[in-house]
Chain A
Amino acid sequence: MPPIAVVCQDVDLKGDITIGPGTVVHPKAAIFALVGPIVIGAGCIIEEAVIIVNRRKDIMRIGDNNLFEIGCRVECPSIGDFNTISTRARVHNTVRMTNHCVVGAQCLVVPAEDETLDEYTCIYGPAADRRTWSGRGQVQEADLRTKHGEYLREMLPKFNRLRRSDGA
């Protein structure tokens, strides 16, 4: 049986939102499906003050095992699996993310034209430089992500009120 999702009570959810099994949403996160719906996959971690917005009519699909760190803001129309968006980063709605991408802390990814980030793209530094990750260590990172999720699913309910499955 897959683990149930943990969504804290103090989150701001608007619109049609689907949250997959094992996903953790910390308090003070905001997920706004302003026009189209948002579908979040399994095992994602959405930390405090994260803002996820869908302004398009299409479904915004977020894959599995993604990590959204504190205070990041994401408007991508689609996100694959195993991506990390670091603290206070901003990803604009022109960017589609594939898998295993990393957006570094406080990076601005706001291209004017539509763009799809290749797999293993790593964006880092104040100038939002890009490089391609060799992928070494991804097994360990995936394992760490799993443990991170397990820990949060165990600890968050001890200190926060949860939303009970309201049709999610």
Chain B
Amino acid sequence: MWPSIQYYCPCLSSANTLTPPPPVLASSSASFHSLHNLYFCEECDAVRCNRCVSVEVSGYYCPNCLFEVPSASVRAEKNRCARNCFSCPICRATLSVVASDPPDDGTGRPVTPLNNVGEAPYLLYCNYCRWDSSEVGITFEKPTGLAAQLQKYEDSAPESLEYERLKEHFEPFLRASSLSSSTHLLPPTSHHLHTSSATAAASAALSRDIPGISKYNPVARSRSGRDRTTNKDEMPEYKSRVEVGLFGQLGSGGDDADVELLRYTETAGEIAKLEQRWGNSWTTSLRMSELRPLRIPLHSKVSKRCPACRHILIKPEQKAQSVRYKIKLAAANYLPALSVGFPQTQAAKRAAGKGADSRNAGVMLAGITNNAFRVALTNPLYDPIQVRLSPQRVTDGRGFQVSLPLTPFSIGAFAEAWEYDDDEDMFDMEDDELGLEAGRGSRDKDARGRAKNVGVLERRANVTVVGGEVNVHKSYRGQVKFNMLVSYTYRSDDPLPSEDGAGTPSRAVVKTPEVKTFSFYTVVDLGPVLSKDDSESMQQV
């Protein structure tokens, strides 16, 4: 869990404050995300998380046959694959269609090798648990269009018929009420300027009048009250197809039948497990032997939009076979990736050598002023960037203080992987020449003597490692967890600011206006504090 670093998305903060909540609050975890879960909206110049983006379904497909189902027919097909894809009722594996065996000649072994053309009837067969559909009396005359052949079973189920009838019964009423609700619900929703039709429909559906429940709206109350009475009069009384309580005799197992079944059960294996019945649309028998194959549920591909400007942040390719994206504005391509760790000092070795049991004990020692840690920053941009770290002060003086290099430092540009090999030597040399506090020698010396851990420690390719220290107060117990503002300046691709310049070759002078700064908050978790007594007792153990 620790050490870890997470990025802040301001979507949950009230008003326009950009500062994240104090990390000691448990609720703050909702605002922090790992970098790979975040998106970046170029239009708004802001980080977006999965919590604040609006999600739209961009297509449905069957995960087994990868058929793209047009959204119009998804509802008609009841969200399941309408072709040949079934899952085993026993073990959830995908069923395959097999032909029946040729008639047995008594010996049990075929004299001549079989040809590939099987014989009817065809069966659904699970290659994993050897279930086959003849156990529940399902066979097919031809091996194609199985779902259509099973459709009649499905549609003739009493629950399904009852449901259809209910839908039919309520449809005129629902249509009328949706019309009326959409008229008086539009004004409140219209202040969301950018809601898509889908979200509008969803919110309308959520706030729609439910018949028989008065709406919490003083203005509309009288009307809805009147509506209710009139509706009551308008609604014809619904008559169910079968008597209530008759379902028990329809093979779907009523309460009495279930009790009876359980009373005579000999092994637990006869009863279908919850996970075997979970995916069913209707109540099914408790008996394992009566479970029927299920059409495989469809999956959907979704695209996500920025909540503010409605631009698409991520959009998959339409084809079900493709795992690529048409648009993908992942934050990892815009923000430097930060990772935090501990140097291989004695404290870290102590913790690491103790094994898994003491892994949770912590590396930070109370009462020690120079608990070292490292932050490695990786630049995803094709240009070098200047980064400034500013850890947020912890207000409580008896807690801990974090020292990090506060002056800006640079991170090299990202290059394709093949360029690294040639450049590596150059970078090392550069470090030496520049006399940075880098290199292994100086670090080892630091570990022994008075630590000089704060500063840029290492620089290679597009990664820069900086060191920091935590001064933990003697009496402090708890997590060393602090917010950190990261600002970086980068050369903007946006040509607009420089367009008004002279446009002369002396552009190099005007380079500065092209530089932009972006800031984001992160939370750094360095784990719990280990008190001195604890560490000593641990060493004795």
Contact = CB atoms under 8 A, between A and B. Distances in A.
Given A124-B128, A125-B129, A146-B113, A140 B101 contact: yes
A136 B91 contact: no
A124 B90 CA distance: 10
Contacts of B503: none
A120 B98 CA distance: 18
Contacts of A120: 130
B376 interface: no
Given A102-B130, A131-B130, A137 B98 contact: yes
B132 interface: yes
Contact of A137 (B90, B104, B132, B269): B132
B47 interface: no
B104 A139 contact: yes
Contacts of B118: 140
Nearest to A146: B113
A134 B134 contact: yes
Interface in A3-42: none
A104 B123 contact: no
Contacts of B104: 139
Interface in B80-137: 90-91, 98-102, 104, 108-110, 113-114, 118, 123, 125, 128-132, 134-135
Q: Which secondary structure dominates where chain B touches chain A?
A: loop
A142 B109 contact: yes
Interface string A133-167: 11011111011001100000000000000000000
Interface string A106-147: 000000000000001010110001110110111110110011
Contacts of A147: 113
A150 to B, nearest CB: 9
Contacts of A104: 128-129
Contacts of B125: 136-137
A104 B125 CA distance: 15
B128 A138 contact: no
Contacts of B130: 102, 120, 122, 124, 131, 133-134
A138 B123 CA distance: 13
Interface in B114-172: 114, 118, 123, 125, 128-132, 134-135
Interface string B266-280: 000100000000000
B129 A143 contact: no
Interface of A: 102, 104-105, 120, 122, 124-125, 129-131, 133-134, 136-140, 142-143, 146-147
Top 3 A-B pairs, shortest CB-CB distance: A133-B130, A139-B101, A124-B129
22 contacts: A102-B130, A104-B128, A124-B129, A124-B130, A125-B128, A133-B130, A134-B132, A134-B135, A136-B101, A136-B132, A136-B134, A137-B100, A137-B101, A137-B123, A137-B125, A137-B132, A139-B102, A139-B110, A140-B98, A140-B99, A142-B109, A143-B110
